[in-house]
Copies of this chain bind each other. A is one copy, B any other.
Amino acid sequence: MSSTEPRRALNINNINPHVKTARYAVRGELAVRSEEYRAKLAKGDGKDLPFDTVIAANIGNPQQLDQKPITFFRQVASLLENPGLLEHEDVLTNSLGYKSDVVERVKYLLKEVKSVGAYSQSQGAPGIRESVAKFIEQRDGYPTSFKDVYLSNGASSGVNTLLHIICAKPETGVLVPIPQYPLYTATLALLDARVVPYYLDESKAWGTDLQGIRESYDKAVAEGTDVKAIAVINPGNPTGASLSADDIKNVLKFAAEKSLVVLADEVYQTNVFIGEFVSFKKALRDLQKESPGKYDSIELASLHSVSKGMVGECGHRGGYFELIGFDPEVAAEIYKFISIQLCPPVMGQCIVELMVNPPKEGEPSYELYKKEYDDIFNGLKERAYALYEAFKQMEGVECQEPHGSMYLFPTITIPQKAVEQAKKEGRKPDEFYCFRMLDATGVCVVAGSGFGQKEGTLHFRTTFLAPGTDWTGRIVEFHKAFFDEFKA
Bound form: Cα–Cα A269–B191 in Å: 34
Q: Which residues of A contact B (CB under 8 A)?
A: 4, 6-12, 14-17, 19-20, 22, 24, 26-28, 35, 39, 59, 61-64, 69, 71, 74-75, 77-82, 84-85, 88, 91, 95-96, 113-122, 126, 153-154, 156-157, 160, 164-168, 183, 186-187, 190-191, 228-229, 256-257, 259-261, 294-299, 312-317, 325-327, 329-330, 333, 336-337, 339-348
Please, how many angstroms separate the alpha-carbon atoms of A297 and B10 in the complex? 10
> Roughly how many angstroms separate A163 CA and B314 CA in the complex, as a whole number?
26
Our pick among B8, B74, B154 for the contact of A325 (Cβ within 8 Å) is B8
Measured between alpha carbons, how far is A121 from B26 in the docked complex, in Å?
12
Complex Cα distance A120/B343, Å? 21
Kindly state the separation between the CA atoms of A345 and B63 in the bound complex, as whole angstroms. 14
Closest 6 CB pairs of A and B: A315-B346, A78-B82, A77-B81, A27-B339, A63-B118, A6-B297
Contact status of A330 and B257, CB under 8 A, knowing A63-B114, A85-B96:
no
Q: How far is the CB of A223 from chain B (nearest CB, A)?
A: 18
A91–B96 CB distance below 8 A: yes
Q: Which chain B residues border A39 with CB–CB below 8 Å? A: 126
Residues on the B chain within 8 Å of A329, using CB: 11-12
- Shortest C-beta distance, A61 to chain B (Å), equals 5
Q: How far is the CB of A402 from chain B (nearest CB, A)?
A: 23
Q: Are B81 and A327 in contact (CB under 8 A)?
A: no
Minimum Cβ distance to chain B for residue A449 (Å): 16
CB distance from A297 to the nearest CB of B (A): 4
Are the CB atoms of A10 and B326 closer together than 8 Å? yes
Query: 29 A–B contact pairs at CB < 8 A?
Result: A6-B256, A6-B257, A6-B295, A6-B298, A7-B297, A10-B166, A10-B261, A10-B327, A11-B329, A12-B329, A22-B336, A22-B340, A27-B342, A28-B339, A63-B118, A64-B114, A64-B118, A74-B84, A78-B85, A85-B96, A117-B314, A153-B341, A156-B342, A186-B340, A190-B337, A315-B343, A315-B346, A317-B343, A345-B348
The reply to whether B27 and A122 contact each other, CB–CB distance below 8 Å, is yes
Tell which of B82, B256, B341 touches A77, judged by Cβ atoms closer than 8 Å.
B82
Residue from B10, B61, B91 in contact with A91 in the complex, judged by beta carbons closer than 8 Å: B91
Q: A16-B165, A115-B315, A297-B7 are in contact. Are A341 and B96 (CB under 8 A)?
A: no
**Are A154's CB and B342's CB within 8 A?**
yes
Contact yes or no, B315 A117, CB < 8 A: yes
Once the chains bind, are B259 and A9 in contact (CB under 8 Å)? yes
